[in-house]
Amino acid sequence: MKKIYQTRFGGIDSPKEEWGNCFQACVASIFEVPLDEAFDCRYCFRKEDVGKPIDDSFEFIEFNKWLARYGFQSIYIQAFPLPRMTSLRGFHILEAESMTLKKGESHVVVIQDGEVVHDPNRNAKEIGKTVGVYLIVPMDPADYVKKL
């Protein structure tokens, strides 16, 4: 993993071009690609997806299409008690309540083996309550095990 930091910090009330790109920075960090080559979810956001389960949203479907280029897919798991995260192996994206944006907005960080290893916001001092985790898993686990 290569630490890549977000460059935009606006909330949902900001113009779309100013929306925070913490998710994009986490993806870039995990896959060690330049920020502008990583998946940018702001272009996939649709108002009709608000209130839907994340894994039914256009954004999530497009994220999985992007991941497929690397032989991975994502599974989203809604919040669960923090201690269970210790059993997660590998790099994943933890979604938490934002400590800087208005209530209800979220922020994401990179976790490895259940521990936070990268916050794409250089100025963040803490993360909020866990909302969920984007598990990043190989599309064909057998191939992944062979490569280890």
Q: How far apart are CA 106 and CA 116, in angstroms?
A: 16
Q: What is the pLDDT of residues 6-62, one digit of tens each?
A: 999 988 788 888 888 999 999 999 999 999 999 998 766 655 655 666 777 778 888
pLDDT of residue 117: 94
Domain boundaries along the sequence of the chain:
16-147
pLDDT of residue 48: 63
pLDDT of residue 106: 85
pLDDT over 50 at 148, yes or no: no
Q: Distances in Å between the alpha carbon of 92 and those of 109, 113, 148?
A: 8, 8, 18
pTM of this prediction?
0.84
pLDDT of residue 36: 95
pLDDT of residue 47: 57
pLDDT over 90 at 1, yes or no: yes
Does domain 16-147 bear CATH number 3.30.160?
no
Q: What is the pLDDT of residues 80-129, one digit of tens each?
A: 655 455 567 889 999 888 887 776 788 999 999 888 999 999 988 888 88
Q: How far apart are CA 91 and CA 113, in angstroms?
A: 7
As beta bridge partners, residue 76 has 134
SS3 assignment, position 111? strand
Q: How far apart are CA 49 and CA 129, in angstroms?
A: 23
